[in-house]
Amino acid sequence: MSEVATTGVSVLLVDDHPIVRQGYRRVLESQGDLHVVAEADNAADAYSAFKVHEPDVVVMDISMPGASGLEAIRNIRARNPRARILVFTMHNEAVLVKAAFNAGASGFVTKSSAPSAVVNAIRSVARGERAMSDDIAHVLAEDSLSAGSVLDQLGEREIEILRQFAGGATTEEIAAQLNLSVKTVQNYHYLIKTKTGARTDAQLVRLAAACGLTRI
Amino acid sequence: MSEVATTGVSVLLVDDHPIVRQGYRRVLESQGDLHVVAEADNAADAYSAFKVHEPDVVVMDISMPGASGLEAIRNIRARNPRARILVFTMHNEAVLVKAAFNAGASGFVTKSSAPSAVVNAIRSVARGERAMSDDIAHVLAEDSLSAGSVLDQLGEREIEILRQFAGGATTEEIAAQLNLSVKTVQNYHYLIKTKTGARTDAQLVRLAAACGLTRI
DNA sequence: TGGCAGCTCGGGCAAATTTCCCAAGCCGGA
DNA sequence: TCCGGCTTGGGAAATTTGCCCGAGCTGCCA
């Protein structure tokens, strides 16, 4: 991490599609100052590769098979809190973005972004700055009326209900299970959605899965 | 289409992510015999670009915003039945593969494939052959032996709506995206639930994820 | 050629759920 | 003690769901 300024930025590429990785690699290396030192196609390999190469920046698609990408972010950050991780994915849901930053990401860029925006984001996070693409900033701005972290702002009961809901349980089943009135569960359901910024039950499930609350 | 053998293969790239297109372009052009003559990021532009350039091969990701990629395949084939279209996407669900070939695709390669497999597939379809990656062949093989997955009982439209819904889109967004009335989307939503036996939106999302329709 | 089956698209309407506002009890911290 | 947050639910309007219907279209099969 020390010789960055003179030798450029070393990058670990994490994406589950080989062709996509190959394409990124070529785009990044054509920049001159960006060097892809390793690739990985899953969370576990990403962690291993990080330990070996200690790259300046990890460019990672968080939608990978197997373990959650967010989990990978947490693992890497746990090992080295100075690690810079740029999430680079097609998703642009506020809940996911917040979850990623919450897990320790330094940047979040969607694949809809112009190539120049992506390479600039890599340079930004390499300098220790936070970076995000315009569309992400817009999404977060829209969402900003309810600031805060994603799951950390949920209480015990809310998390339990979210887990059961994401697991496929109906409102009645949850109420019976927890010995609550259906009305209360409905209110929690609504409350969780507003708190997390999820606008859809499906987004809620995806959030729960991303946070490891449920497995799919 | 006639001078292919001597001048190489002209390719139209269709993918909604700029960076991804840029990467593909570099990978393909490094081959020497493959030339990207145009790019498009949606179905409508793909059709326009095809009319202008009449490329040997269209390399297309069918999961794009706006009109269905399958629709684009049909449009292009309707204009020129000799058009060669190679579907190149992250999805590997049997129903989608079958739908693509049914719409007139010449090949189906997943983004999990090795770059060499992709370029070879492009050359194959340029020669008029059918091509698919190993994993797709495997999926189709499994499918031909199985009693039929849950998704097999869903129509094209139903699958598209399920994908968008599981991806977190609201009913209104899906209706706007597909140019349908909200009521129709609601009906599809209900129909999909009854057909699949899902009793909850969350179960629907899990089902879609399990079938590879969406990644979490 | 006719007919049937299946997909697509939407209207209608009662029942159910969601949305949002509200109140009250409880508990821990300032 | 008081404030704030969690938990629990009521109420009422808005929306969605569940289920029924028909109509247009395409493909298939006799």
Minimum-distance CB partner of A23 among B24, B112, B204: B24
Proximity of residue A189 CB to strand C below 7 A: yes
Q: Which residues of A touch B23 (CB under 8 A)?
A: 19-20, 22-27
Please judge whether B202 and A165 are an interchain contact, meaning their C-beta atoms are less than 8 angstroms apart.
yes
Please judge whether B19 and A26 are an interchain contact, meaning their C-beta atoms are less than 8 angstroms apart.
no
Give the per-residue pLDDT at A84.
Answer: 92
Shortest alpha-carbon distance between residue B200 and chain A (Å): 6
User: Is the confidence at residue A144, as pLDDT, over 80?
Assistant: no
Structure token digits, residue B140: 């189709």
What are the φ/ψ torsions at residue B177 (nearest 5 degrees)?
-60, -45
Give the per-residue pLDDT at A194.
Answer: 84
Give the per-residue pLDDT at A95.
Answer: 65
Mean pLDDT of chain A: 83
Give the per-residue pLDDT at B185.
Answer: 92
User: Is the confidence at residue A66, as pLDDT, over 60?
Assistant: no
Over residues A164-192, mean pLDDT? 88
User: Is the confidence at residue A6, as pLDDT, over 50?
Assistant: yes
Over residues A35-64, mean pLDDT? 88
Over residues B6-17, mean pLDDT? 88
Interface of B with A (CB under 8 A): 16-20, 22-24, 26-27, 30, 90, 111-115, 118, 165-170, 199-206, 209-210, 215-216
Closest residue by Cα to residue A88 from A37, A125, A52, A55: A125
Give the per-residue pLDDT at A64.
Answer: 58
User: Is the confidence at residue B1, as pLDDT, over 80?
Assistant: no
Give the per-residue pLDDT at B144.
Answer: 60
Query: Measured between alpha carbons, how far is residue B67 from residues A192, A195, B147, B160 in Å?
Result: 33, 33, 31, 10
Over residues A47-51, mean pLDDT? 90
Give the per-residue pLDDT at A150.
Answer: 63
User: Is the confidence at residue B3, as pLDDT, over 70?
Assistant: no
Proximity of residue A142 CB to strand C below 7 A: no
Shortest alpha-carbon distance between residue B47 and chain A (Å): 20
Mean pLDDT of chain B: 84
Distance B76 CA to D27 C1' (A): 21
Give the per-residue pLDDT at A4.
Answer: 44
Give the per-residue pLDDT at B95.
Answer: 66
Residue with more model confidence, B215 or A172: A172
Please judge whether A201 and B199 are an interchain contact, meaning their C-beta atoms are less than 8 angstroms apart.
no
Nucleotides of C under 7 A from a protein CB: 6-12, 17-22
Give the per-residue pLDDT at A152.
Answer: 66
Minimum-distance CB partner of B26 among A26, A170, A206: A26
| Burial (CB count within 10 angstroms: exposed 0-12, middle 13-18, buried 19+), residue B120 | middle
* pLDDT tier for residue B10 given thresholds of 50, 70 and 90: very high
* pLDDT tier for residue A212 given thresholds of 50, 70 and 90: low
Structure token digits, residue A48: 């291993």
Residue with more model confidence, B185 or B216: B185
What domains are there in chain B, each with its CATH number?
4-144 (3.40.50.2300), 150-210 (1.10.10.10)
User: Is the confidence at residue A207, as pLDDT, over 60?
Assistant: yes
Percentage of residues in chain B having pLDDT higher than 90: 32
Give the per-residue pLDDT at B145.
Answer: 53
Distance A184 CA to C24 C1' (A): 14
Give pLDDT tens digits for B101-134: 877 889 999 998 988 999 999 999 999 888 999 9
User: Is the confidence at residue A108, as pLDDT, over 90?
Assistant: yes
Lowest-pLDDT range, A115-124, A194-203, B37-46, B64-73? B64-73
* Cβ contacts from A onto B, under 8 A: 114
Give the per-residue pLDDT at A67.
Answer: 44
DSSP assignment string, B65-124: SSS-HHHHHHHHHHH-TT-EEEEEES---HHHHHHHHHHT-SEEEETTS-HHHHHHHHHH
Residues with Cβ within 8 Å of B24's Cβ and at least 6 positions away in sequence, in order, are A19, A23, B13, B15, B36, B59
Give the per-residue pLDDT at A143.
Answer: 59
Lowest-pLDDT range, B42-51, B132-141, B151-160? B151-160
The nucleotide closest to B171 (CA, C1' atoms): D16
Residue with more model confidence, B205 or A1: B205
Residues with Cβ within 8 Å of A162's Cβ and at least 6 positions away in sequence, in order, are A154, A192, A204, A208, A213
Over residues A70-93, mean pLDDT? 83
Closest residue by Cα to residue B4 from B25, B27, B34: B34
Give the per-residue pLDDT at A41.
Answer: 87
